[in-house]
């Protein structure tokens, strides 16, 4: 039996490599897409890994990346839209260019990847899409463009689930809460980040932070046959922080 193939965007980051590890453990061949290539991020991975430099917000780049995976392995069974950016800003100081760039990567990127995988899914008779969202789509966050992009991703997912279901494609979102990764480490100095993480964990009903492996295992389930009838859903992997706070 031919091993299935997964594309994971944002493949050079901590979340991307955690997702790749889970999929490799499940027998996938994994193409890691990242704007500047994957580099040493793939060195610790065990299995068939293909690194592809790609800007997910640029259609020519996406087209070439999907073609590279198709030329190499002849199929794409799972698409994991993990790439994302979150530049700091508020509504009152928002720069239009920053807003547009955030939506280009976080929302246009997943749409373009789906678009260019459709011919492969039509040819092979199905596929899986999992996009990494955020709990902020529901409760709001501190950066308007990021929160808007993640809310938009849910809308895109539900439309795509309806359209692509006839091709045998499921489309879902995994929405984590705060996770200790390099992506989040850049937002503050280590001491401030430690304090935020402690307060965040204390506010969670489960009293703990989400780890990259928690997100990765949920992705692995959604791309498996065990989840073949789940589509158009948002799965919160947030230790309960997507819920309204408890009033005591």
- Asked, for residue 77, whether it belongs to a domain, the answer is yes
pLDDT surpasses 60 at 185 = no
pLDDT at 187: 57
pTM here is 0.94
**Beta strands in 107-187, from DSSP E residues, in sequence order:** 127-132, 169-176
Q: What is the pLDDT of residues 166-181, one digit of tens each?
A: 999 999 999 999 887 6
- Asked, for residue 161, whether it belongs to a domain, the answer is yes
- Asked, for residue 154, whether it belongs to a domain, the answer is yes
- Asked, for residue 191, whether it belongs to a domain, the answer is no
Q: What is the pLDDT of residues 43-93, one digit of tens each?
A: 889 899 999 999 999 999 999 999 999 999 999 999 999 999 999 999 999
CATH number at residue 161: 3.40.50.720
pLDDT surpasses 80 at 123 = yes
* Number of domains within the chain: 1
- Asked, for residue 124, whether it belongs to a domain, the answer is yes
pLDDT at 177: 92
pLDDT surpasses 90 at 117 = yes
**Beta strands in 10-108, from DSSP E residues, in sequence order:** 29-34, 49-53, 78-81
- Asked, for residue 247, whether it belongs to a domain, the answer is no
Region 208-219 average pLDDT: 96
Domain carrying residue 46: 5-179+211-237
pLDDT at 40: 76
Where residue 188 falls among pLDDT bands split at 50, 70, 90?
low
- Catalytic-labelled residue, pool 28, 121, 137, 146: 146
Region 116-135 average pLDDT: 98
Mean pLDDT of the chain: 93
pLDDT surpasses 60 at 31 = yes
CA distances from 45 to 49, 124, 182, 215, 248 (A): 8, 27, 18, 17, 46
Run of H or E residues at 5: strand 5-9
- Asked, for residue 246, whether it belongs to a domain, the answer is no
| CA 134 – CA 150 distance, rounded (Å) | 6
pLDDT at 248: 59
pLDDT at 160: 98
pLDDT at 44: 81
pLDDT at 211: 95
- Asked, for residue 82, whether it belongs to a domain, the answer is yes
196 is catalytic: no
pLDDT at 186: 56
């Amino acid at each position: 039996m031919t091993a299935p193939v997964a594309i994971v965007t944002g493949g050079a980051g901590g979340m991307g490599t955690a997702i790749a590890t889970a999929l490799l453990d499940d027998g996938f061949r994994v193409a890691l897409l990242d704007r500047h290539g994957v580099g040493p991020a793939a060195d610790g991975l065990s299995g068939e890994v293909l690194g592809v430099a790609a800007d997910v917000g640029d259609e020519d780049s996406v087209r070439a990346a999907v073609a590279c995976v198709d030329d190499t392995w002849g199929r794409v069974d799972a698409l994991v839209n993990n790439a994302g950016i979150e530049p700091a800003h508020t509504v009152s100081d928002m720069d239009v260019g920053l807003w547009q760039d955030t939506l280009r990567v976080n929302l246009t990127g997943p749409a373009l990847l789906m678009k260019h995988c459709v011919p492969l899914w039509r040819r092979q008779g199905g596929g899986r899409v999992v996009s990494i969202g955020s709990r902020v789509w529901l409760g709001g966050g501190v950066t308007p463009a990021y929160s808007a992009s993640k809310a938009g991703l849910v809308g895109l997912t539900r439309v795509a689930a309806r359209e692509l279901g006839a091709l045998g494609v499921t489309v879902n979102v995994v929405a984590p809460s705060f996770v200790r990764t390099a992506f989040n480490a850049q937002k503050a100095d280590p001491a401030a980040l430690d304090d935020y993480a402690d307060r965040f964990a204390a506010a969670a009903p489960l009293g703990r932070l989400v780890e990259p492996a928690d997100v990765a295992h949920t992705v692995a389930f959604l791309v498996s046959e065990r989840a073949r009838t789940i589509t158009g859903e948002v799965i919160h992997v947030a230790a309960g922080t997507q819920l309204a706070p408890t009033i005591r």
